[in-house]
Amino acid sequence: MTEKVFLEVLDALVEHPTVGLSFDDGNRSDAEIALPALRERGLSATFFALAGRLKEPASLRAGDVRELRAAGMGIGSHGWGHVSWRGLSSTDAQRELVDARLALQEASGTLITEAALPLGRYDRTLLGRLKATGYRAVYTSDRFPAREHSWLRARYSVTAEDTAASVLGVAAGRPGFQEARNVIASGVKRLR
């Protein structure tokens, strides 16, 4: 998505204050483009950063994470290295679910209570691990409307093909066949 289209999407969403916004991966553009644009429009978002990339040039730095938090943005965990959390060994689960969270808490100066699943992959074993780890909310990329207070929350990922009009269609709650399919797919993921 170009910066121009991104700004058009944000402009369109100003009229939909109940739509939750989030950003995954902790890219530099989160601090350089998204944060100023959100501030200009009086919007807020949650940024799900990757702890293992905090020192990489194209990614957020610890200072950026603190700046996002100071600006009233939420900070959540997207893990350490952007790998699927399904089928992790105990050692890898410790790094992705616990160590990443601790590193992001240190970087942000705030308690991390939410996580976004890398690559959108999950199963009941992973959900059990996340509950045992104490996350208050876990976000998927299942692309159907989420219930605000549920523990597992679906999200729509805005893609390069989206426009302000397509995002507004989702925000206005005009689900189609694809959303019904996604609800069924989510149910299967929870059972496997």
Q: What is the pLDDT of residues 47-66, one digit of tens each?
A: 999 999 999 999 999 999 99
107 C-beta neighbours (distance < 10 Å), count: 22
Domain residue extents for the chain: 3-191
Model pLDDT, residue 15: 87
Rounded Cα gap, residues 131 and 178, in angstroms: 28
Q: What is the pLDDT of residues 73-115, one digit of tens each?
A: 999 999 999 999 999 999 999 999 999 999 999 999 999 999 9
Residue 190 has pLDDT above 70, yes or no: no
Residue 175 has pLDDT above 80, yes or no: no
- Residue in 104, 120, 115 with CA at minimum distance from that of residue 156: 120
Model pLDDT, residue 115: 98
Model pLDDT, residue 183: 39
Rounded Cα gap, residues 49 and 75, in angstroms: 7
Q: What is the pLDDT of residues 109-130, one digit of tens each?
A: 999 999 999 998 899 999 999 9
Rounded Cα gap, residues 25 and 159, in angstroms: 14
- What's the mean pLDDT when you consider all of the chain? 88
Helical spans, DSSP H, in 19-176? 28-29, 35-41, 62-70, 90-93, 100-108, 124-133, 164-171
- Is the domain defined by 3-191 classed in CATH 2.40.10.10? no
Rounded Cα gap, residues 164 and 13, in angstroms: 8
Rounded Cα gap, residues 164 and 152, in angstroms: 27
Top pLDDT among 178 and 154 is at 154
Model pLDDT, residue 17: 80
